[in-house]
Every structure is written in structure tokens, then in C-alpha cells.
Chains A and B, each alone.
Chain A
Amino acid sequence: MKPGDGVETYEAEAQPRLGFFTDTSVCIGCKACEVACKEWNLVPEDGLAWTGHSYDNTGELNANTWRHVAFIEQQAPDPIKQGKQDFRWLMESDVCKHCTHAGCLDVCPTGAIFRTEFGTVVIQDDVCNGCGYCVTACPFGVIGKRERAAASSPAGAGRTSGQSPDVLQTAVASDGLGVIGKRERAAASSPAGAGRTSGQSPDVLQTAVASDGLGAITKRELGGDGGMHKCTLCYDRLQNGMEPACAKACPTDSIQFGPLDELVERARERCGDLVEAGVSEARLYLADENDGIGGAGAFFLLLDEPEVYGLPPQPIVPTKNLGTIWGAAAVAAGALAVGVAAAFLRGEE
């Protein structure tokens, strides 16, 4: 696997590229990774809601969810059970991909997002000004914004539900087929429950002492800081020679951590073994350094098409088309100049 963009600037201080291999074939959906990540990184609560989507009440990766376990229930023969069962679970622990060519890093206008000496991609919380450009540049929808408390701005502007944080609300709706339920907590109810933005009661200012992943201990407001957040691949733990919290907590080694080259080798072997054993749909996702993001620092073994897990089938870093984009802008600027010149051509009337 290629080193990530920009890692060469570390010269002698560069470390072997570290990453995750998430083998979904052995994931049991325990969510220990989600819990370990929240605990270690002091990631705030992001609303308690029933989604009605199997056991997945987390929903998606976001500013306040850095590991997300997807659950898919399928009426299909389970190849691992040798056809004795016509139902199977697919479970996958999703995470930031720490792309070789990272769209978020490319577009960040403050330099808050940087490539670490381990080849991972980290947001410096003390530099980020909350412009949100990285959110639109991530092909995987990983990065999110910790919306400020609803008091000042309507956080749920473009979203489906925005509820007053002052109102204690308990609502459960069921359509009988896919149960959609929602539970709002009184003390720290989310201002935009269904939209799953972060958010805490504007009245409750919560602070906590947290490591910022750069070795410094800072006092940080939990929730509603207006900044962008995502997985740091536990940068603070890496710097101390430890494995990330999620991998450490995974009881089945579905999440494997280590030097990326070793992981890719191991993953190819594992995938080959599975296909040989009759699991013909096993495939590696983002392990190819020639794909649209140059391969990922966190790649996966999947048992179905990527979009079944909510992953893009052929992700491309938008920077790949940067030449076209700037070219089009130059042509447009030229056309504007020609247009204005044309407007003067007939001279004064």
C-alpha cells in the first residue's frame, strides 16, 4: 500500500503506515468498538433513538460517532452455515477510512486536517474553524459537525425534525412493518433528533478534560462546539505504542490493527480462504491502491455489495478532477471578461 499523501514531509520521523483491517465475516455485532471509542475519546452522546433498522440504533458515522456497527438482516442462505439456514446477518463496524488521497485533507482551508507520521488523517480541534468543507469532500460521509446549541441557530434547518430542547417528549410510532420509534431524553435531548446532529441542551454546559490526540490535555466543551470531528485512529494511543481503543476491545478480532502492508497481506489470505470454503461473495473493499482514493488506511472484508452496508461502491476523491474544475473556472472567468468586453463594444450611446 502506498504511503498517504504528504507523509513524506516527516522524512526520518515517518513511521510505518498503520491502519485497520475490519473483517466483517467474524463481526458479532457486540458494539464494543463503539463503546470503547466513545469512552476513550470522550465522544459526546448523539441522541438516543430507535431507528427501526435491525439492531442499529447508532445510524451512521458522524461527529459524535467514530465507530458505527451496521446490521443487515437478509433472507438468504448463510454460506458460513453451509446452507442449513435461509437467513443471515451481516454486521460491519464502519470507521474513517484514513484514505491515501484524502478529500477532507485536500479541501481543509485552515490546515486543521493533517497527515500524521503514521499515515493517518487527523483533525486538529484547536485549529478547525468549522467551515464544513471537509464534510462535503468525504466520499464516505464520515465527518460531521458538532452543531452549536440550538439557542442561537436553527441547527435542524435542512433536516427533517427539529424539536425544542426544552420540551420533554416521548413518542413512539409504529407502522407495524418497520418500527420507527424515537425517544428523547429530558436532560440532554437532541435539538434535531432524527437528523442525528449532535447537540446537547443549551442550558447544560458540559466540559470535560480530554486529550486532543496531540498529546496536550485540554478542557473541551462536550457537544455543540461548532467544529468538525471524526476518528483519529486514536492518535494519542499510537504515539504511545498502543493499539486503538476499538481494536483493543474487539472480542473476535474482526477489527485488526497493525502495519498496513501486513494487514493487506493477511486480508488477501483470509479472503482467499473464505472463497475457497464456499463463501463466494467475500471481497476486499478499499484494499486496492489503484482505486479512486489510492486505497485506504482502514479497509474491509465484505460479504455483499458495498452499498448494502451503506458504503460507496467506487469512491473517488474529488481532487482527482481538480484540473478539470480549475480549468472550467478559468474558462468561465475568461468568458466573463469577454462578456463584459462585448457589452462595451458598441461604445457609448
Chain B
Amino acid sequence: MSATSPTDALSYYGRPIIKEPVWETDIPLYFFTGGLAGASDLLALGAQLSGNHRLRVSALAAAAAGAAISPYFLIKDLGRPLRFLNMLRVFKVTSPMSVGTWIFSAESATTAVAAACELFSVMPRLRVTAQFFAGLIGPAQATYTGALVAQSVVPAWHEARRELPVLFASSASASAGGAAAILTPAEHAGPARRLGIIGGVAELAASKLMEWRLGKLVGSVYHEGEAGKYTRLATASTLAGTALMALAGRRREGAAAAGTLLLTGSLCKRFAVYHAGKQSARDPHHTSIPQKERGGRAVTQPSSRTGNGSSPSPTTR
């Protein structure tokens, strides 16, 4: 993408232009648990429609666990946790967090109803209805978080706006498939295994596509520092989990190992994206160089770090 070595480009003492996101690790943890819940809800709906009782219960359990723990991460990360309800006074389509708040509220409420009916073996028709709506909202729950980080000025996120939702959806599928494969006897777990494999392959492909589309300058953050560490972990786990699921998934121990690997890969992928965003925000050149290239202007090359006053062309706008 950029042929310019970033060290030659202009900046204000190398300081960041944009702010580093203030979100702490609760947020990638929520991306994981929320994604797991969303995709599991859809898997449970599929199992319900195909009459696979054992798989439905497993997927519903995974969805309920994900939906139950998610609010903890979401609320804990707020600067003023007691005011989390303020988000339920507003609906704004320009804010994926606002839209997502409603998606998550609907998804977790329907999942809770379905899980409660299942747990206490009551009101089967309500359970079926709740499961139907949870499954319908599930895909939105699994993907809106990708849109949320893309709707930002962070170069590693905004420039990946076309790929991030698909990456998050794939990662969520891999985790949901993995979790259900762990919890379900092998003879009933076929769809879970296949979802894990489809998700794993899609996650690996979407990651590659995203890095390629980001280009050398911004895309490289996914291989540097903390982001690089989690990218390597995610790739290795997802690759191993996908392969193991395909080869040994029909055996209970094989499915358990493969499922664990897929879950680990999915979790690490969210941390890779999270850290890549932070790292990319810290580098002023990730902001300035793509903007200059988009604007069709050459990056002004200073003769030296201190002598950068050599008159650039006047651009009186």
C-alpha cells in the first residue's frame, strides 16, 4: 500500500493523532461471549427445526452462558457502570453500540426465557417461540460488534470495515460449533461439528482477506506486539481445531479437544483485533499516510527530522 517508510513521514513528535480506545479487555471478552451466544442461538434454532433435541439443549446452554456473562463485561467497562440504563433511553442507527444494545437486550431476554423454560420443563410453546426469536436475532448479535469497531476512526478497524463483520460472524460460528460439539454426544453433534469447521475455515479466510485489504502499513499491526501474539495464537488454535474437528470430531475426546481449540482461537482472534486497534491508534502515520494517499497528495518528505519547514506547496482551501 504505502511505499513510504513511516519514519520519514511528518508527525508532531511522533505523538498519536487520534486517541487510543479507552476500552479494556472486558470488550474483546464480550465480543467473544456475545458472539458465542448469538451463533449458538441460531444453532439451537436449527436443532429445534430439525428435531435434534440433544443438540438444541447443548447449544441453548452455550447461548445462555454467553448471554448471562456478557452484561458483566459490558457494564464493568463503563466509566460509570450505574448509568448503563442510559443506553436504553436512546435508539440511534448511526451508533452500532446503540443498535447493539437493543439487539443484545432482545437476544439475552429471549435466550433467558428459552433457557428457563428448558431448565424447569415448563411452557414448551413459550420456549419454542422464545427460541425462534433468539435464533432470528442471533446472527445480528454475532455480527454487530464487528460493525461497532468498524464505525470508528481507528485505522486498523475502520479500514477493515468490509471484513470485520464477516470475521466476527465466522469466529462466532467456530466458537458456537466448538462449544456445542463439546457438550453433545457425537451421534447428535454432526451439525455442530460442521458449523465449527465452516466457521474455522471462514475465520482463517476472513483474517487473511482483511490483512490483505488493509495493506502493508496498517495491516502489519496484526503481526506486531500484542496483536501479533494473539494473531499467531488464534491462527494456530483455529487451524488445529478445524483440522481436528474434521479428522477426530466423531470421537467424544476428539470433539472436546477440537472444540476447545476452536473456542480458544475465536477468543484470541477478538483479542488480536482489539490490540491491533489500540496499536494502530497509537501510530500517527497509520492515520496520516492513508489520508494523504486518499487525498491524492504526496506525503511531504522532510529533509531531516528538525528541518521539516521546507515550504510545501500552498494549499489554500
Contact of A135 among B21, B92, B202, B309 (CB under 8 A): B21
Contact of B161 among A140, A307, A325 (CB under 8 A): A325
Q: Once the chains bind, are A307 and B11 in contact (CB under 8 Å)?
A: yes
Q: Once the chains bind, are B316 and A275 in contact (CB under 8 Å)?
A: yes
- In chain A, residues 204-257, which have Cβ atoms closer than 8 Å to a Cβ of chain B? 225-228
Chain B min CB distance to A281 (Å) = 5
Chain A min CB distance to B161 (Å) = 5
Collect the chain B residues with CB atoms within 8 Å of residue A142's CB. 19
Chain B min CB distance to A152 (Å) = 11
Collect the chain A residues with CB atoms within 8 Å of residue B98's CB. 109
A130 CA to B79 CA in the complex, in Å?
A: 4
Interface residue? B3 (CB, 8 A) = no
With A336-B172, A337-B42 as contacts: A321 and B158 at CB distance below 8 Å: yes
Q: Once the chains bind, are A313 and B288 in contact (CB under 8 Å)?
A: yes
Chain B min CB distance to A114 (Å) = 11
Chain A min CB distance to B104 (Å) = 12
Interface residue? B272 (CB, 8 A) = no
Interface residue? B97 (CB, 8 A) = yes
Chain A min CB distance to B241 (Å) = 16
Interface residue? A158 (CB, 8 A) = yes
Segment of B115-123, B136-144, B214-222, B252-260 engaged in the interface with chain A: B136-144
Interface residue? B150 (CB, 8 A) = yes
With A141-B16, A332-B168, A336-B142 as contacts: A304 and B78 at CB distance below 8 Å: no
Q: Once the chains bind, are B295 and A313 in contact (CB under 8 Å)?
A: yes
Interface residue? A288 (CB, 8 A) = yes
Chain B min CB distance to A161 (Å) = 14
- In chain B, residues 68-109, which have Cβ atoms closer than 8 Å to a Cβ of chain A? 77-81, 83-84, 86-87, 89-90, 92-98, 101
A260-276 contact mask (Cβ, 8 Å, vs B): 1 or 0:
00000000000110010
Segment of A24-32, A73-81, A182-190 engaged in the interface with chain B: A73-81
- In chain A, residues 261-311, which have Cβ atoms closer than 8 Å to a Cβ of chain B? 271-272, 275, 280-285, 287-288, 291, 304-305, 307-311
Q: Once the chains bind, are A129 and B310 in contact (CB under 8 Å)?
A: no
Q: Once the chains bind, are B12 and A307 in contact (CB under 8 Å)?
A: yes
Closest-by-CB residue of A relative to B20 is A158
Interface residue? A331 (CB, 8 A) = yes
Q: Once the chains bind, are B308 and A108 in contact (CB under 8 Å)?
A: no
- In chain B, residues 273-317, which have Cβ atoms closer than 8 Å to a Cβ of chain A? 277-278, 281, 284, 287-288, 291-292, 294-295, 297, 300, 304, 306-312, 314-317
Q: How large is the interface on B (under 10, 10 to 19, 20 to 34, 35 or more residues)?
A: 35 or more
Chain A min CB distance to B309 (Å) = 3
Q: Once the chains bind, are B50 and A308 in contact (CB under 8 Å)?
A: no
Chain B min CB distance to A289 (Å) = 10
Contact of B18 among A72, A138, A272, A339 (CB under 8 A): A138
A312-333 contact mask (Cβ, 8 Å, vs B): 1 or 0:
1111101101101110110111
With A112-B86, A326-B147 as contacts: A312 and B291 at CB distance below 8 Å: yes
- In chain B, residues 35-58, which have Cβ atoms closer than 8 Å to a Cβ of chain A? 39, 42-43, 46-47, 49-52
With A226-B79, A307-B288, A314-B294 as contacts: A342 and B194 at CB distance below 8 Å: yes
Chain B min CB distance to A316 (Å) = 8
Collect the chain A residues with CB atoms within 8 Å of residue B315's CB. 283
With A131-B97, A137-B153 as contacts: A333 and B143 at CB distance below 8 Å: yes
Interface residue? A116 (CB, 8 A) = no
Interface residue? B29 (CB, 8 A) = no
Collect the chain A residues with CB atoms within 8 Å of residue B317's CB. 283-285, 287-288, 291
- In chain A, residues 159-206, which have Cβ atoms closer than 8 Å to a Cβ of chain B? none
Closest-by-CB residue of A relative to B281 is A136
Q: Once the chains bind, are B288 and A321 in contact (CB under 8 Å)?
A: no
Segment of A11-19, A39-47, A143-151 engaged in the interface with chain B: A143-151
Q: How many residues in A have their beta carbons less than 8 Å from beta carbons of B?
A: 102
Collect the chain A residues with CB atoms within 8 Å of residue B149's CB. 136
Closest-by-CB residue of A relative to B92 is A109
Interface residue? A103 (CB, 8 A) = yes
Collect the chain B residues with CB atoms within 8 Å of residue A157's CB. 24-25
Closest-by-CB residue of A relative to B147 is A329
Collect the chain A residues with CB atoms within 8 Å of residue B162's CB. 324, 328
Q: Once the chains bind, are B291 and A313 in contact (CB under 8 Å)?
A: yes
Contact of B12 among A70, A146, A147, A334 (CB under 8 A): A70
Q: Interface centre among A287, A322, A329, by most B CB within 10 Å?
A: A329
Interchain residue pairs with CB less than 8 A apart (23): A51-B13, A60-B16, A107-B96, A110-B83, A111-B90, A128-B79, A132-B23, A136-B152, A145-B79, A153-B24, A158-B20, A227-B79, A281-B312, A307-B284, A310-B12, A318-B158, A321-B158, A324-B162, A329-B146, A332-B146, A336-B139, A343-B195, A344-B191
Interface set of B (CB-CB < 8 Å, partner A):
9-13, 15-25, 39, 42-43, 46-47, 49-52, 77-81, 83-84, 86-87, 89-90, 92-98, 101, 138-140, 142-144, 146-154, 157-158, 161-166, 168-170, 172-173, 177, 187-188, 190-192, 194-195, 198-199, 202, 277-278, 281, 284, 287-288, 291-292, 294-295, 297, 300, 304, 306-312, 314-317
Besides A136-B277, A137-B151, A280-B311, 17 other A-B contacts (C-beta < 8 A)? A60-B16, A107-B95, A129-B80, A129-B83, A129-B87, A133-B97, A133-B152, A136-B154, A153-B24, A158-B278, A304-B312, A305-B312, A313-B295, A324-B162, A332-B166, A340-B42, A346-B190
**A-B residue pairs, 6 tightest by C-beta:** A130-B79, A76-B309, A226-B79, A310-B12, A129-B83, A74-B309
